[in-house]
Each structure stands twice: as structure tokens, then as C-alpha cells.
Structure 1
Amino acid sequence: MTFEKVLPLLKDGEKAFRLGWNGRGMFVVRQKGYPDGIPCNKQTAEAWNLKEGDLFKVSPYLQIKNADGTHAMWVPSVGDIFAEDWEIIR
């Protein structure tokens, strides 16, 4: 499947991955963010020069589960955008 076809599915809450990725168990999801805000924790407050508990607004974003089990914000590469080996986890 192409990225153009998988993006709407991600927006609908599906999990997607590429067959060409080397890491096992890797996939991407859409995080809804916190458009109305969420109280920030100590780490976020320190990073953004805020007070712990201040309202922190977050826009929607893509997040990847890496092969080592960690998670990170994710932006597709040019290779990811033009790849045709996208799959949905069902």
C-alpha cells in the first residue's frame, strides 16, 4: 500500500508499518495530542521553562514504536512517503 492510502487509515486509528523496515515490531500510530491542553509534568515544565502543572497544548502527531520498545515522535522520510510496502496491523 502507498503512504497516500495509509495516511487516512492512521487518522482513523489504525497502526501501520513498512515491510522494508528492519526492526521487528515497529509501527506508526497517530496520536490525537492534547488540543485543549494537559497539565505538564516536571520534565516538560523544565524543558519549556514552565511551571509544573501549567496547561500544555499538544497538536496531533505521528508516533513510532521502535524495535527496542521505545516510542518517539515520527516524521516520514522521503523513502517512507514514496514506498509502496505499507501494511496495516489488523
Structure 2
Amino acid sequence: MSDMNFGQALDFLRTGHRMARRAWPEGTWLVLRTGYPDGIAVNANSAEAFGVPEGTTARFAPYFQLCDTYGTLHAWARSDEDLLDADWYNVDPHAPLGARRRL
């Protein structure tokens, strides 16, 4: 499939595809997480951050998550270029996390 704009990429993200930009380093890709609309028990890390007891049920809205070239997952800090450029493409859904190894 040829490159697409972000609107087209978003349609794929909504159906569970991994997407990337040609401008990003090899092995970097994006997913749209569905969140937890019915709630999920928060772990110790989240409990500390939110100031609630571990195990408290919290609802999470959908969000974008970026996997970098080292396989580390991040919240996606989108840029104007990410939204306006038309260099988005599908990523192999079976590709391993990260294309590079930390030294």
C-alpha cells in the first residue's frame, strides 16, 4: 500500500493496525490503545502517581502509544508534521518491539 495522510492512518489505527512515518527512525511505530472504559485496577506505579490505593479501579480513555527503536513504549507527543505529512504506512503486526538494542 502507498503512503497515506494522518486521517487515513487514523482509520487503520482505529482497527488495530500499527502505523509509522517514513520520517521516523526504523523500528518506531504507533498504536491506538482502546483504554479501559469499564475500569481496571491500578498498579503500584499508577497508584503512587494518582495518589490512590493500589488496586483502585480507574477508567482510562483511549490513547496513542509509540514504540521506539529500542522497544520502549511512550505516550505519543505528536507534532504538526506528524499530523500534516503524508508519509504514514502500515507496519508488520508481528514485528518485534524495537529494531535496535540498547548498548
TM-score, length-normalised on structure 1? 0.93
In the TM superposition, residue 76 of structure 1 has moved relative to its aligned partner by: 2.1
Q: Percent identity?
A: 35
Counterparts of residues 17-32 of structure 1 (less than 5 Å): 17-21=20-24, 23-32=25-34
Identify unmatched segments of 5+ residues in structure 2. 93-103
Deviations 1:3-41 (A, max 9, x none): 0111111001111000111x2211000101111110011
Specify the alignment match of 2:10 in structure 1: 7
Q: Which has the higher strand share?
A: 1
55-64 or 72-81: bigger deviation: 72-81
- Corresponding residue SS for 1:57: strand
